[in-house]
């Protein structure tokens, strides 16, 4: 019952121009590098395998359930659900999202993190990309630097942990 991505987010968490401004890069010579770093930071944070355990921007995921009944969904911020067969009813509790199915079905869900959390995630992406941009090589010798402590501080209150 591993979720699979059906429709990825339409936009980047941080647009390239905003990231260039954050990095104080005035040219577009390194746009491909910066874009790949934005993508890597987004993949690190977002979706089923992301450290946040939730979807940042609106996206669609699907999960196959073998029978009817109440099922805990793999994401906390589910907005809508549809079932390939029978009926699906969405509800939420303090542990996340639940779907009640009338029979076995593939459940397709639209998920998006609450809007008030997005600014924190955008700052996290900017901090990660800024760190990677300044430290482009593997850590070795005297150049040991970890990810900025502020990233961990911003991640902690918005990280969703599956039980």
pTM of the full structure: 0.88
17, 2 Cβ separation under 8 angstroms:
no
Beta-bridged to residue 108, according to DSSP, are: 62, 82
Whose tokens are 């040991």? That residue is 144
Beta-bridged to residue 106, according to DSSP, are: 64
Q: Buried b vs exposed e over 20-59: b needs ≥16 C-beta within 10 Å?
A: bebbebeeeeeeeebeebbeebbebbbbbebebbbbbbbb
What ranges do the domains of the chain cover?
4-55+115-155, 59-111
What top-level class would CATH report for the domain 4-55+115-155?
Answer: mainly alpha
Q: Per-residue confidence of the chain (163 residues) as pLDDT tens digits?
A: 799 999 999 999 999 999 999 999 999 999 999 999 999 999 999 999 999 999 999 999 999 999 999 999 999 999 999 999 999 999 999 899 999 999 999 999 999 999 999 999 999 999 999 999 988 776 655 556 667 778 888 999 999 876 6
Between CA 19 and CA 23 the distance in angstroms is 6
């Amino acid at each position: 019952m591993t979720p699979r991505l059906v429709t990825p987010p339409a936009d980047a968490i941080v647009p390239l121009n905003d990231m260039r401004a954050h990095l104080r890069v005035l040219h577009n010579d390194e746009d491909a590098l910066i874009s790949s770093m934005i993508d890597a930071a987004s993949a690190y944070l977002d979706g089923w395998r992301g450290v946040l355990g939730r979807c940042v921007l609106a996206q669609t995921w699907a999960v196959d359930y073998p029978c009817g009944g109440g099922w805990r969904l793999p994401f906390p911020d589910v907005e809508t659900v549809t079932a390939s067969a029978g009926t699906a009813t969405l509800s939420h509790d303090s542990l996340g999202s639940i779907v009640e199915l009338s029979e076995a079905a593939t459940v397709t869900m639209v998920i998006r993190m609450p809007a008030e959390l997005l600014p924190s995630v955008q700052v996290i992406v900017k901090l990660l990309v800024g760190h990677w941009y300044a430290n482009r090589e593997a850590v070795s010798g005297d150049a040991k630097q970890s990810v900025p402590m502020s990233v961990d501080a911003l991640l902690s209150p918005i990280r969703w942990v599956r039980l």
